[in-house]
Structure 1
Amino acid sequence: MVHLTAAASVQFGGDRATLFRIIRVDPRPTYAGWVWLIGYALDDQGAAVVRREVFVQVAGLIFVAPGNLQRHA
């Protein structure tokens, strides 16, 4: 799981930050340092809410331990 914030992409800034369970990394080439992730946006209990594909900066990903659903700033 990762916590997506503005550090990963402007679309996740402020209250739009989200927890995301990665199920696959798209192998297509992109810009250096960026990646397409396929997975599920999660609610506060860790349940999948919606399947999404997101384009994010790898350096901005905040990895979250599976048992820790706290949102990170």
Structure 2
Amino acid sequence: MKAIVLDAPGPVEALQLRVVPDPVPQPGWVLIEVRAAGVNRSELHTRLGMAEGMVWPRVLGLEAAGVVVDCPGG
């Protein structure tokens, strides 16, 4: 899948479009084919280094809308 990835806090130029492996949903999770995504204030804080406890690299785009393609466990 294509994703916006941040390796560490930095300027806007630190955001990179990459191809990463498709996530595998766990029971109780859903996998969606994203049709639209946005960057919210939390992700802005992540990019600026203001969020604590981040694991790097990090895929951004927590707010998304799309179509469910897998839902293990119902």
Q: Which has the larger radius of gyration?
A: 2
TM norm structure 2 = 0.30
**Counting strand residues as a fraction of each chain, which structure ranks higher?**
1
Q: Relative contact order (C-alpha < 8 Å, sep 6+): which is higher?
A: 2
